[in-house]
Structures are given as structure tokens and as C-alpha cells.
Amino acid sequence: MPIRSLPIAGIAILTAIALAGCVPNRVAATSQLTVTMTDDGCAVSGSTAPSGNVAFTLTNTGTDVNEFEILADDKLRIVGEKENVTPGQTVSLVARLQPGTYYTGCRFQQVGATIGQAEFTVTGTTIALDQSTEQLARTAVTDYVSYLRSQVQQLIPAVAGLTTAYEAGDDQAARSLFAGARVFYERIEPTAEQFGDLDPKIDYREVDAVAEDLGWTGFHRIEKDLWPPAAGALNSDGTSATLNWAPSTPAERKTLGDGLVADVQQLSDLVDKKDFTVTLADISNGAIGLLDEVAKSKITGEEDWWSHTDLSDFQANAQGAEVAFGDVMPIAASQGAAGTKLVASIQKEFAALNALLMKYGSIQAGFAPYDQVTDAQRRDLSNQVNALAEPLSQLTHAVLGVPAS
């Protein structure tokens, strides 16, 4: 799914919290700001805040889905992001920001350049965790980075198997490998969104690539070759499936397959760097963002439009979200009775979602094709995703000790 330059995704990515080498201070009181999102504007109620927790209350008053971003001083790296804000919706994004210059902006329809980009200054001194949660934070970050690396290590051979069959023209074998190869990516997709155009190269759907005038590569370009559209078929946006598209030649297949292998290897190289890390907010917001991915494109069937392997992606997103939640759960649970109650609620809804998905299959045995899932069954899935999304949306507040809005 589309998610733009440099950040963990769908999905707020925050400036690194110093977990070592700092004298721990108690985080300053949370700054509260509002953001009004329109089709052609992005009005933030203030242009400065002290370092520490900054809570943005976002309201979309426009006509279509929107996205709010906090950019680093290079105007490229996203250090905070909230996607999929629908018309009339009010949501919250919490960022723990260190001193420096940032830029805020919105991305109408989640494509193109940011709108209403404005400088945002964070003043004061570097904020560290207080001593009572520092060890829990170290453990959470260490465990989650290990998980990310393990998934990428499994992604590399899975993609190699898929692309070898695809380039050889063995479509039956490639189709059998497609969903399984994607699982490792879908569990950790927000990480790829940290690194420039890697996610667009690896996982953009055709309609997103066209909307942003990008070359279309990656999993979904291969998918359309493996499940070629029938005569008269339409893309997910209602355009002709053969508009500016034709089946890839053997030479084009080699280019596409080799390109996906190279992009996945680049992701591995970046994640394996000694200085690669994540923040607590990256982890908790990553869990939230993965579930948002399910709500936006898996439920509708837009993600795997030709293969109908959406339920496999759905389960992988849910698994990735549950791992991220599990890593920060001890911190959330340490926040008194409210934290304990929140953790119990999230656990309950994850269990219900997993039980519901089991009715349709599993990643190991395969899932029912999504075009065979009825509208009523899709509503059941959507309702359970929403039931989980409600408490999960408060996870970052609990992890960072920010009162829920």
C-alpha cells in the first residue's frame, strides 16, 4: 500500500528516543495541538512546542481521505505520520519530538506532494525516558529490531523462489509462492516505509503508481502477470485493466523479478546496519498502522485485486501488529489500572480477530480466495477490525504516558 518517503508507515515514525547515554528526565507535559485537514490546506494550531510528547488532534474537513506528516529538517524523512483520515473523522497522533526544526503537512488522497507544508520548531532539551521504564524500553526495542531482521531474512529466499519461477515462465509455481512470499513483507511493511522509495518499488498497486506517475514494479506488477485480467476486466479504480498495460515479455519479467530481488536485498542491508533502530512510538504506531492497512485495502479487496490472496496479507498484517503490541505491552501495562485495562482489551480483540480469520484458513494451509468471501462475511471482518482498532488506537498514548484524548 502507498506510503511515502522515509518512515515507518502507515504509521507514525518519531525521532529516536535516546535510550542510552542520557541522564533520564521525566518527559515534559504533553503539548496539545489541533490540525485542520482540507483538500487544499493543512492548518496546525501552533508552529512550536517544547521537546517531549506532542499530541496532534487531526480533523479532516475535506472531501476525501487525507494524511498528516511531520517531516525532519531535510523535508524528506517522515518522523511522524497518520494515514487514512477519512472525511469528517477526528483522530489523534502522538509524537515524542526532540529539539530541532521539523515541517508539517498533509497529503490529500495520500498521493503527490504535501500540502500546506509549514515549519515547526521544537525547543528545549533532549528528552529521555525516566528510569522506571528505561529497561522495559531497551528490551522492547531490542526484541522488535530482532523480529524485523528475522522477517527480512525469511523474505529474501521467499522472494528469490517467487521471482525464479516468474522469470522462467512457470506461472503455476509462481502463483503458489506469491502469497507466502508477501507474508514476511506484510508483517513489517512500516519498516520499509522508512527508506525513501523502497515501499513504492516493492509494494505499490497499479492505481497508486499511476496516480503518482511512478514506474510500476514489485509484487503487484508481478501479480497482474500471474493472474492476467479477463477481457473487459476493470482495475480497482474502475479503469480498463488493459489501459497502458500488457503482459510482460520474458525480458520484462527478468527486469521486474531481478528488481524485486534487489529492492528486498536493499531493505535487508538497511535493516542489518549496526546503527539501525526504532523508537517506542515506532513500534506502537506501527501496530496501529498495520491494522489501518487492513481496514483500508484488505477489507475492500483492493490490495490483491487479481490474485484474491487478501486474507493472507490480512493475517500477516494482524500478526505483525500483534508482535509489535506484545513488545510494548509491558510498558503499557505498567501505567496503572488504565494501562492494565487497555492491554486486556487489546488482547481480547486480537484473540477474536484471529479466531475469525481461522474460519477462512491459515497462512500455512492457505486461505479462501477473497472473491469467495461474501459481503456479509466481509462486514463481520470489518466489524472485528474496528473493535480492535478502538483500543489499539490508544496504545501509543499508554506507552508514552500521554493522557488519551
**In this structure, what C-alpha cell is assigned to residue 275?**
546503527
**In this structure, what C-alpha cell is assigned to residue 152?**
527480512
Three-state DSSP state, 390: helix
Model confidence at 91, pLDDT cuts 50, 70, 90, reads very high
DSSP 245-289: --PPPHHHHHHHHHHHHHHHHHHHHHHTSTT----HHHHHHHHHH
**In this structure, what C-alpha cell is assigned to residue 158?**
521467499
Residue given cell 500483534 in the structure block: 322
What pLDDT, on a 0 to 100 scale, did the predictor assign at position 11?
31
Q: Which residues are within 8 A (CB) of 360 and not within 5 positions of it... i.e. 6 or more apart? A: 311, 367, 368, 373
Calpha distance 277→13 (Å, rounded): 12
Model confidence at 9, pLDDT cuts 50, 70, 90, reads very low
Mean pLDDT calculated for residue range 239-255: 97
**In this structure, what C-alpha cell is assigned to residue 59?**
480533523
Model confidence at 78, pLDDT cuts 50, 70, 90, reads low
Model confidence at 25, pLDDT cuts 50, 70, 90, reads very low
Q: What percent of the chain has pLDDT over 90?
A: 71
Identify which of 94, 323, 307 has the alpha carbon closest to the alpha carbon of residue 188. 323
Calpha distance 143→278 (Å, rounded): 11
Domains of the chain and CATH, by start:
31-127 (2.60.40.420), 132-400 (1.20.1420.20)
* Residues forming a β-bridge with 95: 54
What pLDDT, on a 0 to 100 scale, did the predictor assign at position 77?
61
pLDDT tens digit string along 362-384? Answer: 999 999 999 999 999 999 999 99
The residue with greater pLDDT, 43 or 30, is 43
**In this structure, what C-alpha cell is assigned to residue 79?**
518522523
**In this structure, what C-alpha cell is assigned to residue 351?**
484473540
Calpha distance 168→317 (Å, rounded): 30
pLDDT tens digit string along 286-327? Answer: 999 999 989 888 999 999 999 999 999 999 999 999 999 999
Task: Specify which of 208-212, 262-266, 285-289 reaches the highest per-range mean pLDDT.
Answer: 262-266
What pLDDT, on a 0 to 100 scale, did the predictor assign at position 34?
97
DSSP 116-183: EEEEEEEES---B--HHHHHHHHHHHHHHHHHHHHHHHHHHHHHHHHHHHHHTT-HHHHHHHHHHHHH
